[in-house]
């Protein structure tokens, strides 16, 4: 049940900053505010920071108005109240009991923690030395040398890539999982190297696939060059891990390590894709020093489309880049959806046969004929349909909203 707030209530409200709320001035003059309790972050001007400093839990709205050097009138009181209770409270940076705190929505779905913050910080502390300049140079030179030797050996031996026997696929899966862990520690260790604490490492769903992620929210406190190191840190650690596998292959001749290294290299290259929120996207975003590249591109495309309808098209080179990026990102998403459907076409063509087989088996009580593969062949298509539909609906919804905005203007 909601209650109306009277003018008397407004005058006597006492906003209070949360203990775990911090801020840091960025190179562009803005301030990055973060509340670790609710994993929310935002960017504000110095003007807002002054009001946050006054939110000590001792000053009423009227007293804050006076200390800010403003006239105590209805207009200023309303503006200050709106700043605290409409803009700042929902982000979780201030304490409140009346208003529901909204957590920042993540682009990773169904996520859960694998390693908590304390363990991530502990391990990152001992891995951060790998980001010292001398160590980076030595690591990269040694990695390039191993890649060169591995390439020569690969072309000379022309061995088979078949690993279907002797449990080697399981070994590859284990080694790749270890590589993915090291990848995430690459991000967190880079952040620790620059004096900020990483948070958890977890796993979730992004687009159609399970992904691991490292929470490096505090990287926004760094300048864009340092953030680029955090962005590339995962691939740097993945390169080191891949070259260790390559080294083991060159010493012992076990093909499973070479295959793992090849898979790791391919995955690393795919991770540089700038059109989805993987390492390549954040690297491009920080290289351009644009904190919201995707949103900015969408807005620029919308404005250019509106001006095109008005026949007042005047796009600068920067606008052309944003529009091109947004359109390519949009096309990539649809192409990826089409690929996923085509790649899994066999799942849909045989689903009616598999359902019929399970139904007959149950009716005839021949339960021993039902195996995991048969059950998976029925469940998996519905999972693919759900994931594809979810992404497709989001893409179409944003497209329709943008189109309506264009028509309205």
Q: Read off the pLDDT of residues 62-73 as tens digits, 9 standing for 90 and up.
A: 778 878 888 777
- What pLDDT, on a 0 to 100 scale, did the predictor assign at position 289? 79
203 close to 114: Cβ distance less than 8 angstroms: yes
Per-domain residue ranges of the chain: 7-91, 109-287, 309-408
- The set of residues, in sequence order, having a beta carbon less than 8 Å from that of 335 and lying 6+ positions away, is none
* Sheet with 31-35, edge to edge strand ranges: 21-25, 31-35, 40-44
pLDDT bin (cut points 50, 70, 90) of residue 380 is: low
Alpha carbon distance, N-terminus to C-terminus of the chain: 38
User: Does position 7 have pLDDT exceeding 80, yes or no?
Assistant: no
- What pLDDT, on a 0 to 100 scale, did the predictor assign at position 89? 76
Burial zone of 368 (CB within 10 Å; 0-12 exposed, 13-18 middle, 19+ buried): exposed
217 close to 34: Cβ distance less than 8 angstroms: yes
Give the whole-angstrom CA distance, residue 297 versus residue 257. 41
CATH tag for 7-91 (out of 3.90.1720, 3.90.930, 1.10.10, 3.40.50): 3.90.930
Burial 98-123 (b: 16+ CB within 10 A, else e): eeebeeeeeebeebeeebebeebbeb
289 close to 227: Cβ distance less than 8 angstroms: no
User: Does position 48 have pLDDT exceeding 70, yes or no?
Assistant: yes
Mean pLDDT is highest, among 3-7, 210-214, 370-374, for 210-214
Task: Report the half-sphere exposure of 14 (CA within 13 A, side-chain side).
Answer: 4
- What pLDDT, on a 0 to 100 scale, did the predictor assign at position 365? 66
355 close to 380: Cβ distance less than 8 angstroms: no
pLDDT single digits (tens) 132-151: 999 999 999 999 999 888 88
Average confidence score pLDDT of the chain: 77
For the ranges 156-170, 216-230, 314-328, the lowest mean pLDDT is seen at 156-170
- What pLDDT, on a 0 to 100 scale, did the predictor assign at position 204? 83
pLDDT bin (cut points 50, 70, 90) of residue 300 is: confident
pLDDT bin (cut points 50, 70, 90) of residue 343 is: low
Radius of gyration of the chain (CA): 27
- What pLDDT, on a 0 to 100 scale, did the predictor assign at position 286? 87
281 close to 275: Cβ distance less than 8 angstroms: yes
Give the whole-angstrom CA distance, residue 37 versus residue 25. 21
User: Does position 303 have pLDDT exceeding 70, yes or no?
Assistant: yes
Give the whole-angstrom CA distance, residue 35 versus residue 44. 14
Give the whole-angstrom CA distance, residue 402 versus residue 5. 36
Give the whole-angstrom CA distance, residue 62 versus residue 13. 9
- What pLDDT, on a 0 to 100 scale, did the predictor assign at position 4? 35
- What pLDDT, on a 0 to 100 scale, did the predictor assign at position 85? 78
Helix (H) and strand (E) counts in the chain: 15, 6
- How crowded is residue 20: how many other Cβ atoms within 10 Å of its Cβ? 12
Reported as type and span, the H/E element at residue 34 is strand 31-35
The closest of 285, 281, 115, 302 to 206, measured between CA atoms, is: 281
CA dihedral 9→11→13→15, nearest 10 degrees, is 150
- What pLDDT, on a 0 to 100 scale, did the predictor assign at position 398? 63
| CA 238 distance to own-chain centroid | 18
pLDDT bin (cut points 50, 70, 90) of residue 2 is: very low
What number is the average pLDDT over the span 167-174? Answer: 79
For residue 60, the SS3 value is coil
pLDDT bin (cut points 50, 70, 90) of residue 370 is: low
- The set of residues, in sequence order, having a beta carbon less than 8 Å from that of 181 and lying 6+ positions away, is 201, 212
Residue 49, both tokens:
């920071």
76 close to 13: Cβ distance less than 8 angstroms: no
Residue 62, both tokens:
């009227």
Reported as type and span, the H/E element at residue 21 is strand 21-25
Kindly list the distances between the CA atom of residue 329 and the CA atoms of 46, 105, 145, 366, in Å, as whole numbers in the listed order: 34, 21, 36, 50
- What pLDDT, on a 0 to 100 scale, did the predictor assign at position 102? 36
Reported as type and span, the H/E element at residue 333 is helix 317-343
CA angle 240, 243, 247 (to 5 degrees): 135
What number is the average pLDDT over the span 204-231? Answer: 83
Token pair 């000379």 is found at: 156
What number is the average pLDDT over the span 351-372? Answer: 66
Percent of the chain beyond pLDDT 70? 70
Q: Where are the beta strands (DSSP E) in 116-228?
A: 201-206, 209-214
pLDDT bin (cut points 50, 70, 90) of residue 258 is: confident
């Amino acid at each position: 049940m909601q209650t109306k707030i009277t003018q008397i209530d407004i005058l006597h409200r006492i906003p209070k900053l949360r203990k775990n709320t911090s801020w840091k001035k960025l190179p562009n003059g803005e301030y990055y505010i973060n509340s670790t309790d609710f994993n929310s972050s935002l960017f504000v001007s110095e003007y807002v920071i002054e009001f946050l400093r006054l939110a000590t839990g001792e000053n009423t709205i009227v007293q804050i108005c006076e200390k800010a050097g403003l006239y105590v009138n209805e207009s200023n009181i309303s503006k200050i109240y709106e700043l605290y209770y409409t803009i700042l409270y929902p982000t979780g940076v201030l304490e409140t009991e009346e208003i529901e705190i909204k957590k920042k929505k993540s682009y990773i779905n169904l996520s859960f923690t694998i390693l908590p913050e304390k363990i991530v910080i502990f391990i990152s502390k001992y891995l951060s030395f790998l980001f010292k300049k001398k160590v980076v140079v030595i690591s990269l030179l040694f990695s390039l040398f191993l890649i060169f030797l591995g390439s020569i050996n690969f072309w000379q031996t022309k061995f088979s890539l078949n690993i279907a026997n002797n449990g080697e696929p399981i070994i590859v899966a284990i080694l790749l999982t270890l590589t993915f862990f090291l990848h995430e520690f690459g991000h967190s260790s880079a952040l620790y190297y620059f004096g900020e604490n990483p948070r958890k490492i977890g796993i979730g769903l992004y687009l159609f696939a399970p992904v691991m992620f490292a929470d490096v929210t505090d990287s926004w406190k760094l300048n864009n060059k340092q953030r680029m190191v955090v962005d590339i840190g995962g691939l740097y650690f993945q390169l080191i891990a891949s070259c260790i596998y390559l080294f083991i292959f060159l010493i012992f001749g076990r093909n499973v390590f070479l295959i793992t290294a090849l898979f790791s290299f391919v995955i690393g290259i795919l991770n540089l894709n700038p059109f989805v929120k993987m390492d390549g996207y954040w690297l491009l975003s920080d290289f351009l020093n644009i904190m919201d590249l995707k949103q900015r591109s969408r807005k620029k495309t919308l404005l250019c489309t509106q001006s095109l309808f008005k026949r007042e098209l005047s796009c600068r080179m920067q606008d052309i880049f944003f529009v091109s990026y947004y359109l390519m990102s949009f096309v990539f998403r649809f192409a990826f959806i089409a690929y996923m459907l085509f790649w899994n076409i066999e799942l849909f063509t045989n689903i009616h046969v598999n359902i019929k087989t399970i139904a007959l088996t149950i009716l005839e009580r021949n339960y021993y004929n039902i195996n995991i593969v048969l059950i998976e062949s029925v469940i998996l298509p519905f999972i693919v349909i759900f994931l594809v539909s979810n992404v497709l609906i989001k893409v179409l919804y944003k497209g329709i909203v943008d189109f309506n905005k264009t028509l309205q203007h």
